[in-house]
């Protein structure tokens, strides 16, 4: 699994002209699932994201997590995070899981994230053409791949 975590002052997801998710201060998390992804990856990644100290404390030092600030979160599935670009100019998505594998893992990721945060997590819609808007605060963008967890 890969995740792109963006600290935001606001973010939203719109599908077919309808805003389906909107937050203020918190995180926008783009998640890419591959066939090798499993529940162990989900547990590790959700804990890592929930505890990342990337929000400023009273001294402006990045020392607080999303849990510490009671921030909100939007999670969006994004298969293009597993694009292979080594050969040619057209990305290959061969490593990205097909929906029958990816959807249950994505849903499990969202559920585990809610457990970690102790609150509802907003989402996009798997497979939909989404318009994602955000104001990256900092900017702060972190990329995590579960293959690098050891």
Catalytic residue among 6, 46, 78, 122: 78
Catalytic residue among 39, 80, 111, 141: 80
Report the pLDDT value the prediction gives residue 21, as an integer from 0 to 100. 98
**80 flagged as catalytic:** yes
**46 flagged as catalytic:** no
Report the pLDDT value the prediction gives residue 84, as an integer from 0 to 100. 86
- Residue 53 tokens read as 């100290």
Q: Which of the residues in the chain have pLDDT under 50?
A: none
Annotate 83-141 with DSSP letters as a single string.
Answer: -B-SSSSS-B-TTBPPHHHHHHHHHHHHHHHHHHHTS--EE--TTS-EEEEEEEEEEEE
Report the pLDDT value the prediction gives residue 140, as an integer from 0 to 100. 97
Catalytic residue among 6, 46, 55, 79: 79
| Architecture of the 2-148 domain | 3-Layer(bba) Sandwich (3.50)
Report the pLDDT value the prediction gives residue 94, as an integer from 0 to 100. 84
**55 flagged as catalytic:** no
């Amino acid at each position: 699994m890969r995740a792109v975590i963006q600290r935001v002052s606001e973010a939203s997801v719109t599908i077919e002209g309808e805003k389906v998710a909107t937050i203020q201060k918190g995180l926008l998390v783009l998640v890419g699932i591959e066939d090798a992804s499993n529940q162990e990856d989900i547990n590790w990644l959700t804990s890592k994201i929930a505890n990342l100290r990337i929000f400023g404390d009273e001294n402006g030092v990045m020392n607080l997590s999303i849990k510490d600030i009671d921030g909100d979160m939007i999670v969006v599935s994004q298969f293009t995070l597993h694009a292979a670009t080594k050969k040619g100019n057209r990305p290959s998505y061969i490593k990205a899981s097909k929906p029958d594998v990816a959807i249950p893992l994505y849903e499990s990721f969202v559920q585990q994230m809610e457990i970690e945060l102790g609150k509802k997590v907003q989402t996009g819609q798997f497979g939909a053409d989404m318009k994602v808007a955000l104001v990256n605060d900092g900017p702060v963008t972190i990329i995590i791949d579960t293959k690098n967890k050891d």
